[in-house]
A and B are shown apart, each in its own frame.
Chain A
Amino acid sequence: MKKNMTQFIGFSSVYLATVITLFLLGMIVYFIAAKGFSVLDWEFFTEVPKRGMTEGGVAPAIVGTFYLTIGAIVFALPLGLACAIYLCEYSPKGIVVNVIRMSIYNLAGVPSVVFGLFGLAVFVKYFGFGVSILSGSLTLGIMALPRIIASSEEALLAVPQSYREASLAVGATHWQTIKKMVLPSALPGILTGVILSIGAVAGETAPILFTAATFYTRGYPDSVFSEVMALPYHIYALMTEGTHPAEQTEIAYGCSLILLFLVFAISAVAIFFRYRQRIVHE
């Protein structure tokens, strides 16, 4: 009997832990959605901030985040994909590959603020790009690299070996096989990884604190050397630097909701992709 009692208590507490987790996470989504929705209107997406950040929209921040994200992916995707191709299709298995793998693994664990320091020292100062879209994109790109490599590698590994053999058997070269057979087959998986990275990059704040972001710009950036407003940084700045906390908090709710929505939309697309891919493979 005692045995069953313990089991009951045990499973109940596990159940409780799950309920609490879901409750807390539900709260976050609920509060931000509930308060954020009242702020969101057309103007919020299209207007520049007005009256000391208490009115108007956050369009420059949206645009800034868009540029930073695109820049980061443009930098990280070719590099990450090339790395994944090397590891999956060429890797001669040895010390070289182990060193590369270890670096990727450890790069993934570096704190985001440390990437920010690196970007500050190297891109902003050493290369003299200044606080700019370029510096921020490169910093974010390096941060996104491990994730892009991992997902591309997974996609490449999922391509059946028989496709490679069949392609080589009709006289295709190694490179032709990769370009015309392996990459097209792996494309949905690679795209899923890219989409997920977009979500991660768009929401990052710490790496752009010292490399790209600023609280306020007049209008929109005009070159890759401009500093920009960015959504996540905008939330931080509204909460800590402003002079009208009450009104600014409202706007921060709106920005948070946009970020939240972005993350959900991206995850939904990624899950859909994965689902469809599974169907294709069966």
Chain B
Amino acid sequence: MKEKIYRQLFALLAFASVLFLVGISITLFVEGLPVFMEVGVFDFLFGKLWYPTSDPPDFGILPLIMATVWVTGGALVIGIVLGVGSAIYIHEMAGRTQRAILKPTVEILAAIPSIVYGFFGMVLVAPFLQRLLDIPVGLCAFTGSLVLGIMTVPTICSISEDALSYVPHSFREASLAVGANRWQTLTQVVIPAAGSGISTAIILGMSRAVGETMTVLMVCGGAAMVPTSFFQPVRPMTAAIAAEMGEAVVGGLHFHALFAIGLILFFITLLFNVVAEMVSRRFRLKLGLAG
């Protein structure tokens, strides 16, 4: 009898996560809905002007969406090159000691708060790049991509390394046995076998980059215009929410518009996560690791 009560109690508490996830989506819907009604879905998503506080206001979030796309895209290039590169290094080239140091180091670096990255980007990277590249402002999409890219390295690196290590040793032996060298074995056998695992890493890195707030808020410059060059200041979606919520009138259209942006972000990251999960499931199936 008592046992049954415990079981039901735990079941109830276990449902908290479901409750929160559903709660978040309902909240975003309810708070974001007015803006879709008043501005219209199409004009909201594809409007080129974002002047939420002028009179009359413009609520077109295309500049914000494009800023997110540019900055995330740039970050991803850096994240993939450095992240997958170091994963390959750790897996293929590092000895036992190096590995034992590098793996925890990567883990610790993943734990550095985003505000610290943002601060670093603002006080050091931006002025440095401004002088080095002779650009008008240091706080721009490029700087944002760079710092955000560094931030995604630990995620991409550690998941990719896991994926590489799941590739059965027999694959490697078979390739070496037919006279391939280590690099050929790596690029033609190991990496393709780990391919969907690495894709999972990249998708999750991308999901993190899209949702990252403080860094882009501090280093991207904040201009809400559709970007035409990497050296322009931009305002990604997350930055817009964080920067403007303080000045938005509660219950006003601007307030609802920011929730609507949150809703879009929520679904983008949800989509990425679902895709990542599907890809990684296929990966485990392929290597016979399904459990």
Contacts and interface: CB of A to CB of B under 8 A. Distances in A.
- Specify whether A and B are partners: yes
Contacts of A264: 108
Interface stretch (A37-45, A52-60, A118-126, A159-167): A118-126
A158 interface: no
Contacts of B105: 22, 25
Contacts of A204: 113
B43 interface: no
A168 interface: no
A249 B118 CA distance: 13
A110 B211 contact: yes
Interface in A193-227: 196, 199-200, 202-206, 209-210
A118 B23 contact: yes
B214 A236 contact: yes
B21 A28 contact: no
**Most chain A beta-carbon neighbours within 10 Å: one of B31, B85, B124, B182:** B85
A28 B120 contact: yes
Contacts of B86: 14, 17-18, 21-22
A260 interface: yes
Contacts of A127: none
A32 interface: yes
A145 B116 CA distance: 23
Interface stretch (A66-74, A84-92, A181-189): A84-92
Nearest to A91: B14
A239 B122 contact: yes
B35 to A, nearest CB: 13
B242 A122 contact: no
A146 interface: yes
B226 interface: no
B88 A14 contact: yes
B115 A18 contact: no
Interface stretch (B46-54, B57-65, B265-273): B265-273
B112 interface: yes
A155 interface: no
A99 B18 contact: yes
A228 B82 CA distance: 38
Contacts of B123: 239, 249, 252-253
Contact of B277 (A10, A105, A145): A105
A25 B150 contact: yes
A108 B22 CA distance: 13
A239 B123 CA distance: 9
Nearest to B179: A3
Interface stretch (B4-12, B129-137, B168-176, B192-200): B4-12
Nearest to A274: B104
A79 B13 contact: yes
B104 A103 contact: no
Of B16, B184, B246, the most chain A CB neighbours within 10 A belong to: B16
B28 A118 contact: yes
B119 A239 contact: yes
A2 to B, nearest CB: 11
Interface string B250-275: 10000000110010011001101110
Given A117-B262, A118-B27, A206-B213, A103 B18 contact: yes
Given A96-B11, A103-B21, A239-B218, 7 more contacts: A109-B204, A109-B270, A113-B265, A121-B259, A142-B20, A200-B111, A205-B214
Interface of B: 2-3, 6-7, 9-11, 13-18, 20-24, 27-28, 30-31, 81-86, 88-90, 92-93, 102, 104-105, 107-109, 111-120, 122-124, 150, 153, 157, 181-184, 186-187, 204, 207, 210-214, 217-218, 238, 241-242, 245-246, 250, 258-259, 262, 265-266, 269-270, 272-274, 277
Nearest first, the 3 closest Cβ-Cβ pairs linking A and B are: A17-B85, A203-B113, A111-B211
